[in-house]
Amino acid sequence: MPDSRVPRPRRFLVCEPRHFAVQYAINPWMHPDADVDVDLARDQWAALIGAYRAHGHTVDTVEPVADLPDMVFAANSALVLAGRVFGSYFHAPERRPESTAYETWFKAAGFDVYRPESVCEGEGDLVPVGRYVLAGTGFRTTPEAHREVQEFFGVPVVSLQLVDPRFYHLDTALFVLDDGPEANIAYYPEAFSPGSREVLARLFPDAVLATREDAFTFGLNSVSDGRHVFIAPRAEALADRLARHGYVPVPVDLSEFHKAGGGIKCCTQEIRS
């Protein structure tokens, strides 16, 4: 298998889990009576940031806001593509104030921000890869938002139907391995409708397929820089498969965030200039 995969430096936006907690239930992983170790969560998050910086990536931070326990999941805040920001409009009322907090950061950083009219949860359901934006629907982001994304960016949007509520966002069931000329993905087929599985198989015939065990340990909520894959340690089968394809797994434990249905990618917004 190739050992010449080249990483591309990335710019990430993250939010410290200063106020992280499970205070409500908006996905099957969340239980308000769950005991969250905030100190452990902060240590795990810091380890992720350290891993990104150790591999040459730039990390910006947005100030967390009290009473927004899910603001740590920065990926849901927007899709940033070619220096343009398509903001968020959350399905759950509890999370809607996050949109304003992130919009404030983006504007202060010099970006204009488009506010969607339809429910849209940023990179949670919008995944740029190659010539397309893969767009999830079924539980959060609506098909109407997919049309808004295509009109805003002028990039073909491929709608994918999610069918298992445990994989409520696209980024829990699929991630991009390489978005260059040989764009490729990893995904868990059973998270998608039959038609969507056929679309993915046609677009990405060489995709890396994950097992049920990989998916349920948040192995698909990973971040790749084209060579290094920041991945949940328990997704061992997927890590082995990636290594055989020439990628270098970088295990980072974010298990405390799994209690809220999130992981590595959920905590990571990519700013594409």
Domains, the chain: 11-271 (3.75.10.10)
Query: In the predicted model, is pLDDT for residue 1 greater than 90?
Result: no
User: Would the pLDDT of 23 be above 90?
Assistant: yes
Mean pLDDT on 167-174? 98
pLDDT digits (tens, 9 = 90+) for 115-164: 999 999 999 999 999 999 999 999 999 999 999 999 999 999 999 999 99
Residue 261 has pLDDT above 70, yes or no: yes
Summarize the confidence of residues 39-43 as an average pLDDT: 98
pLDDT greater than 90 at residue 182: no
pLDDT value at position 139? 98
Q: Would the pLDDT of 2 be above 60?
A: no
CA 52 to chain centre: 15
Q: Which pTM was predicted?
A: 0.97
> Tens digits of per-residue pLDDT, 24-36?
999 999 999 989 9
Q: How confident is the model at residue 181 (pLDDT cuts 50, 70, 90)?
A: confident
For residue 125, give Cα distances in angstroms to 34, 52, 158, 221, 261.
26, 22, 11, 12, 14
Q: Which residues are catalytic?
A: 169, 266
The band of 3, judged by pLDDT with boundaries at 50, 70 and 90, is: low
Interatomic CA distance for residues 116 and 100, integer angstroms: 12
Mean pLDDT, residues 44-52: 98
pLDDT of 239 higher than 90: yes
> Are 128 and 272 spatial neighbours (Cβ–Cβ below 8 Å)?
yes
Contact 45, 72 (CB under 8 A): yes
Average pLDDT in the 96-125 region? 98
Give the mean pLDDT of the chain. 97
CB atoms under 10 Å from CB of 65, counted, come to: 17
Q: What is the mean pLDDT of residues 208-228?
A: 98
Percent over 70 (pLDDT), the chain: 99
Is a pLDDT exceeding 50 seen at residue 56?
yes
In the predicted model, is pLDDT for residue 202 greater than 90? yes
Residue 196 has pLDDT above 70, yes or no: yes
- Give the integer Cα–Cα distance in Å for 19 and 128: 30
What is the structure's pLDDT at 180? Answer: 83
Is the pLDDT assigned to residue 197 strictly greater than 80? Answer: yes
Reply yes or no on whether the pLDDT at 72 is more than 90: yes
